[in-house]
């Protein structure tokens, strides 16, 4: 039996049966059997199904938002924002499919050249806990529109949100086997990955992504789309200190630091501006409201996903301090609340050799540098490459930052977490495998098929005239 709990209260949110290896195999077989019929439908009919799904989400938006917030600990405003993103993903995916994976025809002397896109087959989708609706939805919707069938395993920490999505697709009236959900933890995921699939669409940790790269090294026929974590730099160089501090706080501490695009490393210049900014960020961090998802007034941040996640993050922070990091703002629990609640933290790691690892919590590491050359070296000193940001009014510095940054999302004077579904989202290095999601999900959900076509074979024989004995 699988259960999920409200991290703020410990209350039970959902329970249901776990899918074993046999159940996963059965689901994959149903998806395989359903694929030819679904793929053969006109794309307009698949789009109509997605639009019915969108209508169900709109009708159930409040309930889905509450499920997301209860299961993750996010404040209500964030749950509503995520439910809204799920709804918006349908229209974006329809537009992206037409633009990036549609059909194009060109007249030729013999007839025409035609570019089509065909679905891969059965797609396995593994969802994360931090955006349990929005992120898997960003794989599932374009995959189904393209003509694939889908077997979805939500995170074992957020099964209620996954089930709410499955119920919405069922209400939309998909043919049997086109979309299925399997609940469970590692064993369920392993059975799904090892099964008869044509693609794995995954959002999660860099460690899991590296594991999947190894697993599929000898299965090149399986499409692998990885959206992973990041140790993201934010270089804050000049400007209004209070405005810059706001950008830093929104980059580092939103969603209790549980976004893969959160800034983990703040790089500032030595001297007056850097010192003033660090002090301003610390002051704002100390004033942020923290609370349960349904409290009034609404908190800015909620709990971490679990007490275990908080304990793990605390161990990582303690290890940094033991290496020589200086505490600017301590990382603590909150008296009278569950152990999943933590306060935002800041550590000065200037001159300290720290691991190039993502701490999935509201923990910001500060590095002070003498010049912009050193700032760029520090920013790029990572095996990750998801997001990066620059706070500066200097256009020349921005041009250089754009040129030298190795990241898939690079923002100026905006939070590193700022992203739009109408643009690609993904990274390089240990942050992904050059298959960004969001608008570009259409690319990995279908493959191009190029054709030369003529109404008859007439005219081909002439190409051989005089060239045969």
DSSP 438: E
Catalytic residue among 71, 82, 227, 358: 227
Question: Long-range CB contacts (< 8 A, 24+ apart) of 291-298?
Answer: 291/8, 291/75, 292/8, 292/9, 292/73, 293/6, 293/8, 293/69, 293/70, 293/73, 293/74, 293/75, 293/76, 293/79, 294/69, 294/76, 295/75, 298/75, 298/76, 298/77
**Spatial CA neighbour of 13 closest among 67, 65, 64:** 67
Going across the sheet that includes 223-227, the strands are: 179-181, 149-153, 122-126, 199-203, 223-227
Nearest to 118 by CA among 105, 138, 101: 101
The full DSSP string for 236-295 is E-SS-HHHHHHHHHHHHHGGGG-STTSEEEEEEESSHHHHHHHHHHHHHHHH--B--TT-
Active site residue 22: no
CA proximity to 361, closest of 247, 243, 229, 267: 229
CB count within 10 Å of CB 251 equals 29
User: Do 201 and 115 contact (CB within 8 A), yes or no?
Assistant: no
| Residue 148 in tokens | 């694939």
What CA–CA distance (Å, rounded) separates 325 from 248? 20
Which residues lie across from 234 on neighbouring strands? 266, 389
Is residue 445 part of the annotated active site? The answer reads no
Candidate list 78, 260, 262, 358, residue with the active-site label: 260
Using an 8 Å Cβ cutoff, are 386 and 427 in contact? yes
CB atoms within 10 A of CB 359: 25
The residues that are catalytic are 227, 260
């Amino acid at each position: 039996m699988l259960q999920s709990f409200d991290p703020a209260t410990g209350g039970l949110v959902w329970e249901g049966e776990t899918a074993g290896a046999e159940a996963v195999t059965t689901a994959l077989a149903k998806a395989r059997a359903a694929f030819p019929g679904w793929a053969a439908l006109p794309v307009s009919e698949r789009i109509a199904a997605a639009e019915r799904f969108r209508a169900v989400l709109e009708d159930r938006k409040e309930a889905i938002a509450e499920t997301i917030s209860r299961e993750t600990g996010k404040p209500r405003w964030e749950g509503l924002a995520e439910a809204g993103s799920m709804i918006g993903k349908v229209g974006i995916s329809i537009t992206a499919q037409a633009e990036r994976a549609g059909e194009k025809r060109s007249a030729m002397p013999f007839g025409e050249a035609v570019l089509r896109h065909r679905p891969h087959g059965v797609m396995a989708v593994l969802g994360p806990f931090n955006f349990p609706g929005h992120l898997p939805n960003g794989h599932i919707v374009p995959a189904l529109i393209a003509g694939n069938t889908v077997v979805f395993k939500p995170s074992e920490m957020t099964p209620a949100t996954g089930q709410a999505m499955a119920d919405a697709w069922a209400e939309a009236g998909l043919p049997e086997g086109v979309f299925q959900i399997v609940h469970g933890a590692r064993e369920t995921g392993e059975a799904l990955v090892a099964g008869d699939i044509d693609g794995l669409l995954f959002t999660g940790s860099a460690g899991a992504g590296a594991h999947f790269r190894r697993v599929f090294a000898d299965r090149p026929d399986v499409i692998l789309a990885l959206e992973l974590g990041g140790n993201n730099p934010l270089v804050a160089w000049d400007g209004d200190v209070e405005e810059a501090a706001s950008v830093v706080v929104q980059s580092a501490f939103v969603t209790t630091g549980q976004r893969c695009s959160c800034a983990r490393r703040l790089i500032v210049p030595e001297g007056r501006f850097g010192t003033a900014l660090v002090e301003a960020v610390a002051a704002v961090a100390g004033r942020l409201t923290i609370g349960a998802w349904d409290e009034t007034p609404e908190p800015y941040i909620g709990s971490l996903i679990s007490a275990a996640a908080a304990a793990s993050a605390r161990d990582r922070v303690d290890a940094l301090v033991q290496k020589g990091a200086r505490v600017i703002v301590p990382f603590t629990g909150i008296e009278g609340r569950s152990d999943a609640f933590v306060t935002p933290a800041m550590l000065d790691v200037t001159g300290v050799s720290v691991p190039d690892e993502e701490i999935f919590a509201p923990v910001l590491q500060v590095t002070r540098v003498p010049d912009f050359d050193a700032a760029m070296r520090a920013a790029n000193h990572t095996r990750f490459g998801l997001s990066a940001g620059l706070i500066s009014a200097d256009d020349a510095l921005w041009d250089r930052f754009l040129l030298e940054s190795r990241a898939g999302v690079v923002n100026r004077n905006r939070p590193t977490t700022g992203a739009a579904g109408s643009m690609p989202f993904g990274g390089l290095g240990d942050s992904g495998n050059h298959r960004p999601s969001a608008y570009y999900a259409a690319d990995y959900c279908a493959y191009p098929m190029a054709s030369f076509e003529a109404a008859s074979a007439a005219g081909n024989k002439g190409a051989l005239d005089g060239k045969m004995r």
